[in-house]
Amino acid sequence: MAFVSSGYNPDKPMSDRISDIGPRNYEEFLPPVIKKNFGKWLYHEIIEPGVLMHKAESGDEVYTVRAGTARLVTTSYIREACAIAKEYCGGHLRWTTRNNVEFMVESLEDAKKLKETLNAKTFPGGSHMFPVGGTGASISNIVHTQGWVHCHTPATDASGTVKVIMDELFEEFTSMKMPAILRIAVACCLNMCGACHCSDLAVVGYHRKPPMVDNAYLDNLCEIPLAIASCPTGALKPSKMELPDGKTVKTIAVNNDRCMYCGNCYTMCPSLPLADQEGDGIVLMVGGKVSNRISNPKFSKVAVAFIPNEPPRWPTLAKVTRKIVETYAAEAKKYERLGDWAERIGWERFFEKCELEFTHHLIDDFRDPAYFTWRQTTNFKF
Amino acid sequence: MPSVEFQGKNFDIDEDGFLQRFEDWCPEWVDYVKDSEGIKDLTDEHNKVIEFLQDYYKKNGIAPMVRILSKVTGYKLKHIYELFPSGPGKGACKMAGLPKPTGCV
Ligand code: HEM
Ligand code: HEM
Ligand code: SF4
Ligand code: SF4
């Protein structure tokens, strides 16, 4: 299409420029029943998977129907959601902190009709557009990242792995049979955009080879001291080198024995790429949580050192994930998060029950704090 | 690699319009970039920022942190934005010929 101006004048970029207006005030978008009862809610109930009811002091009720989304969606998809909101909810809707979508109505009857409508909508390939669920002790949406869709540092894909796991565990999204909530997160590199470090189960993209060094360009494209300082293990040092054409350039030398492939240096310096088809894959972590319900918040711990990338369906990832989820669901006590369960039975039992191989990769060796992760007691089970 | 010609000089640049080699910088480069960075006329203040960035880069091999840029030039961040509407990174560093800022920008 030919160029269509929005009215912006490139010759006077600062004229009529609006800035620092911030986001719209959320109050503008509240459904009337929410606005009226704001701050005056008495109690809530989960009516059935995906349907909540909140009771206000005034006696008003609001029914919320929660549906899964892919997070990465088109404008047509958003319009579809808007059309539903217009038909049932006076044009109101909201997105949750796990990227589900919630539609609010004022009667149980309307909520049931809405759930039926949402569950009936499918894409041409057969997938649900708005599967209802994600409430209570279930597996709700997967918090995830950019992957091969948009980022330049990933070691795996996000949208692909998420679709695989949600397909595998779909039943758990639409029911509430878990001992407690089971949060899953995906991050496509160790930067861990999102929630991997504090989720019950986490998929993290992982490299296994040190960066390649583009000596000819490095000094032009990178601020060398930044790259050196970006390395958590001191594997990098500045160096000089003679190129084949005889020119001496400043560059960086990588000590491969100290490198653990985090990719931080590539983030700072475009001349140190490290992505690799065979080398890259996934690390599985388990046992994190952010709430302080009963036990304090926990970090997730590495449970599987490497699962290969197997696009498009990542069968090994799907299998291992299912095994961990099913074992937890069968063994844990009511209200026990995965981390609470693993800590109660002991990690040696966790590995045994989930049939996971314990390899030396899982033993912390990062600086002084590694010591505290070893076992300073004779309390263990054979 | 795209390159541009301006007032008889050739510049290799990337897709964001950053110079590929610091050594290629010359005053013509500043003239060439200023339009795309929303700058009509270059003032002494612009030049002071550009000169400081270049000195710092030559000495330290990195661009200065924003607080160092402010402290040394005496220009508050607000004034740096008045001079370079795209800000110290995309605006001033690009004109000074420094490498493109990296990290989660
Ligand atoms: C030259 C001989 C010995 C040396 C150098 C030695 C050294 C040590 C050291 C370094 C520890 C660890 C202390 C810690 O927890 O940091 C230890 C613990 C212990 N040693 Fe010895 N030991 C010796 C002989 C013995 C003998 C002969 C016995 C018993 C008959 C014994 C019984 C124990 C016990 C029971 C502990 C465990 C204490 C605990 O639970 O921390 N040791 N020993
Ligand atoms: C029937 C015989 C024994 C009983 C019932 C017994 C019981 C106990 C108990 C209850 C403790 C405290 C454990 C704790 O800290 O919670 C203990 C610690 C200990 N016992 Fe015995 N014990 C017996 C025989 C022995 C013998 C024969 C030895 C040495 C030759 C011994 C050496 C120790 C030592 C070194 C500790 C300290 C362990 C530590 O906390 O590091 N005990 N014992
Ligand atoms: S986790 Fe890493 S690869 Fe994924 S979006 Fe964040 S920075 Fe990019
Ligand atoms: S990948 Fe990580 S550990 Fe390896 S050299 Fe780069 S910053 Fe250091």
In this structure, which residue's CA is closest to atom 4 in ligand 3? A188
Distance CA A281, CA A204 (A): 8
| A39 DSSP 8-state letter | T
pLDDT tens sequence for chain A (382 residues):
799 999 999 999 999 999 999 999 999 999 999 999 999 999 999 999 999 999 999 999 999 999 999 999 999 999 999 999 999 999 999 999 999 999 999 999 999 999 999 999 999 999 999 999 999 999 999 999 999 999 999 999 999 999 999 999 999 999 999 999 999 999 999 999 999 999 999 999 999 999 999 999 999 999 999 999 999 999 999 999 999 999 999 999 999 999 999 999 999 999 999 999 999 999 999 999 999 999 999 999 999 999 999 999 999 999 999 999 999 999 999 999 999 999 999 999 999 999 999 999 999 999 999 999 999 999 999 9
Q: What is residue B11's predicted lDDT score, i.e. its pLDDT? A: 97
B105's CB contacts (< 8 A; 6+ apart) are B89
Contact with chain B for residue A273, Cβ under 8 A: no
Residue with tokens 């710092």: B56
Distance CA A314, CA A99 (A): 23
A339, A200 contact by CB (below 8 A) = yes
Identify which ligand lies nearest to the alpha carbon of A203.
3
Distance CA A218, CA A77 (A): 43
Q: How many residues does chain A have?
A: 382
- Contact state of A221 with B60 under an 8 Å Cβ cutoff: no
Distance CA A365, CA A371 (A): 8
> In B70-105, which positions are buried (b, 16+ CB within 10 angstroms) versus exposed (e)?
beebebeeeebbebbebbbebbbbbbbbbbbbbeee
Token pair recorded at residue A172: 């758990």
Read off the amino acid at residue B64.
P
Residue with tokens 């006696």: A59
- Chain A residues within 8 A of B103 when measuring between CB atoms: 267-268
B86's CB contacts (< 8 A; 6+ apart) are B37, B38, B94
A65's CB contacts (< 8 A; 6+ apart) are A50, A51, A102, A103, A104, A105, A111, A114, A115, A118, A132
A176 lines ligand 4 (CB under 6 A): no
A187 lines ligand 3 (CB under 6 A): yes
Question: What is the value of pTM for the model shown?
Answer: 0.85
Distance CA A30, CA A40 (A): 15
- Contact state of B62 with A13 under an 8 Å Cβ cutoff: no
**Considering Cα of B20, then B22, then B28, then B29, what sign does the dihedral take?**
positive
In this structure, which residue's CA is closest to atom 2 in ligand 3? A189
- End-to-end Cα, chain B, rounded Å: 23
Between the CA of A377 and the centroid of ligand 2 the distance, in Å, is 15
Residues of B with CB under 8 A from a CB of A: 20-22, 38, 57, 60-63, 85, 99-100, 102-104
Q: What is residue B19's predicted lDDT score, i.e. its pLDDT? A: 97
Q: Cis omega (within 30 of 0) on the bond before A312?
A: yes
- What percentage of chain B has pLDDT greater than the value 90? 99
A133, A175 contact by CB (below 8 A) = yes
Grade residue B85 by pLDDT with cuts at 50, 70 and 90. very high
Closest CA to A84 of A73, A76, A92: A92
Grade residue B1 by pLDDT with cuts at 50, 70 and 90. confident
Read off the amino acid at residue A247.
K
Q: Which of A156, A193, A266 to mutate to test the pocket of ligand 3 (most atoms within 8 A of CB)?
A: A193
- Contact state of A220 with B63 under an 8 Å Cβ cutoff: no
Contact with chain B for residue A153, Cβ under 8 A: no
- Contact state of A223 with B99 under an 8 Å Cβ cutoff: yes
A179 lines ligand 4 (CB under 6 A): no
In this structure, which residue's CA is closest to atom 4 in ligand 4? A259
B94's CB contacts (< 8 A; 6+ apart) are B16, B17, B18, B19, B33, B37, B86, B100
Give ipTM to 2 decimals: 0.94
A263 lines ligand 3 (CB under 6 A): no
Give the Cβ contact number of residue B18 at 10 Å: 17
Closest CA to A45 of A67, A33, A61, A29: A61
Quote the mean pLDDT of chain B: 96
Pairing verdict, β B3-6 and A301-308: unpaired
DSSP A173-220: HS---SSS---EEEESSTT--SSGGGSSEEEEEE--SPPP--HHHHHH
B28, B7 contact by CB (below 8 A) = yes
Distance CA B103, CA A270 (A): 10
Nearest CB to A223: which of B21, B38, B63?
A: B63
Distance CA A174, CA B17 (A): 50
Q: What is the mean pLDDT of residues B27-34?
A: 96
Contact residues, A window 222-241, toward B, CB-based 8 Å cutoff: 222-226
Distance CA A224, CA A215 (A): 12
- The yes-or-no answer on residue B93 being catalytic is no
Between the CA of A162 and the centroid of ligand 4 the distance, in Å, is 27
